[in-house]
Amino acid sequence: MQTHPRVGKLSLENLPELPRMMGETDITLIKSMLVNLPEPATILEIGPWLGGVSTILAQHGDLHVVDRFEWSELNSDRHPNVLPVGASSRPVFEGIMERHAVSATIHEGEIEFFDWQHGKIDFCLIDAPRTAEDLLTCLSIVALDVDGSGLILIKHGLNPAHLDMMSMLDAMISADMLEVVPTEQPRWCNIAVLKPGPKLSTCSAQLMEDVLDIPMAPLMSTASEPRVLLRMARLAALVTQGNWDAACQALAEQPHQRSYQECWDAIEPHIQPRRSKETEFAAFAELLAFHHSGANPAELWAPASQSMTWALRHYWAHLMQHDIAGKTVPLQLILQAQSQGDLEWLERISSLIHSQNVLEVGPLTDLAGAAFLTLGALSVTGIAANNAEDLEPDETLDMRMRVLPSIDEMIDADGIGLVVVHGRSSKQHHQLAILLSDIPKSTPVVSFHNQLVEVVGEGVEGLKCLTEQK
């Protein structure tokens, strides 16, 4: 059997009978997609190289190919003895097609200037874009012409080395521009097999600017592996940008399935987070592993203060019990809360924190909002009140949210389920009793001072008790 090397020291004298850079698995997939095409079928191949795949496509319909047919530096690096850089590869292509008694209509030129004028396309093979922008250029050109039941195959569309393209495809699928076609291809086959969605005609270059803003449509529990792989690629794009809120929301919507973790494992080596975000990236990877581990969040046997890993697990377990939109915090703050001991002292009152809206009062440097959320608080409002003049009954309290920028305004007083005050008696506490006169009478008031945690009372009376402490 003749081999078809994808990379090697080829020359014009020793070209394979069907020169191509695709492997046998790719060819098997392509052939399986060609057998159900209508007759006569119109086929478009973008990037035919030397014609090894084109000879197969031409046997199944009216083939059109688009290429510059200019031997690139990359081609020359891989196959230095075939053609010099800049030479036309069209004569080689035409010779291969003639040798196999097949033909194709050749459109020579830059793809961005290509104007399709030959009716509906039944099968489009894009081989192989190197960036999301290249891919979008190709799709924009054929968006109006691919038949509703037609197929679009994209080489490297499932290649984790091209996360930008995969992220783009996930966005287009979420926006109903494309749909994944079920196949039985093995995991190492990186061709994405797609078909037009109802909104493919809206595909344009503007999508490059909007891709990360397109909402992620939740996946069905029966989503195919290629579909999950594309979703994980867009998740990786969010993580790479440090968009933890969107990444956590997307993760929370995923079903707890080991196959998702396996897709992430395939992608993770290709993710390159900013150096300043590497710690948070590792934290997110831990959350993802916990989410898809199948572990019961209600059976966390170690306290959150035990380690950074357990802090993250407690945070995620509590977050999953509520609507998390706009409620996530930078993961670095969860790690800091554990390392500086905030979790340890708060665990003494964990039963009071869980599922409550917490009001915390104290110096700016003492506010521990991330720790409260880790232990199950619904929300945390932090007041940095450093002197009595900061708290005026007729003004909105000055919200200085060191760790919770997603909380836009203070929870109404009657919704506060726990008040934690740092420090001993001061004029501030008297002012608080006036300002928070509407808090429920049963709301616990906790004092934290010199590593001592004490429930001093409930409601306004509890706040007044603070002013009486010596």
**Is the pLDDT higher at 121 or at 212?**
121
Q: Taking 50 as the threshold, does the pLDDT of residue 303 lie above it?
A: yes
Q: Taking 80 as the threshold, does the pLDDT of residue 140 lie above it?
A: yes
Which structural domains are found in the chain, ordered by start?
24-214 (3.40.50.150), 342-468 (3.40.50)
Q: Burial code of 73-95, b = ≥16 C-beta within 10 A, e = fewer?
A: eebbebbeebbeeeeebbebbee
pLDDT digits (tens, 9 = 90+) for 251-276: 988 888 999 999 999 999 998 887 77
The Cα 457–Cα 150 span in angstroms is: 70
**Is the pLDDT higher at 201 or at 324?**
201
pLDDT digits (tens, 9 = 90+) for 19-65: 888 999 999 999 999 999 998 899 999 999 999 999 999 999 999 99
Across 359-382, average pLDDT = 77
Q: Taking 60 as the threshold, does the pLDDT of residue 407 lie above it?
A: no
Asked whether the CA dihedral 201, 55, 7, 267 is positive or negative, the reply is positive
Q: Taking 70 as the threshold, does the pLDDT of residue 128 lie above it?
A: yes
356 φψ region: left (φ > 0), alpha (ψ -120 to 50), beta (else)? beta
Task: Quote the longest CA-to-CA distance of the chain.
Answer: 100
Q: Taking 70 as the threshold, does the pLDDT of residue 388 lie above it?
A: no
pLDDT digits (tens, 9 = 90+) for 181-229: 999 999 889 999 999 999 998 887 677 667 667 888 888 878 899 999 9
Q: Six-digit token pair at 271?
A: 């993710």
| Whole-number pLDDT of residue 4 | 44
Kindly report which listed range (80-89, 158-167, 274-283) carries the lowest average pLDDT score. Answer: 274-283
Q: Taking 90 as the threshold, does the pLDDT of residue 166 lie above it?
A: yes
Query: Which of 17-26, 158-167, 353-362 is the most confident on average?
Result: 158-167
**Is the pLDDT higher at 460 or at 253?**
253
| Whole-number pLDDT of residue 366 | 58
| Whole-number pLDDT of residue 169 | 95
| Whole-number pLDDT of residue 3 | 43
Cβ distance 273 to 239 under 8 Å? yes
Q: Residue 387: pLDDT band by 50, 70, 90 thresholds?
A: very low
pLDDT digits (tens, 9 = 90+) for 417-454: 898 887 754 555 566 666 667 778 888 888 887 667 77
> What value does the mean pLDDT of the chain take?
82
| Whole-number pLDDT of residue 402 | 33
**Is the pLDDT higher at 414 or at 117?**
117
| Whole-number pLDDT of residue 240 | 86
| Whole-number pLDDT of residue 466 | 58
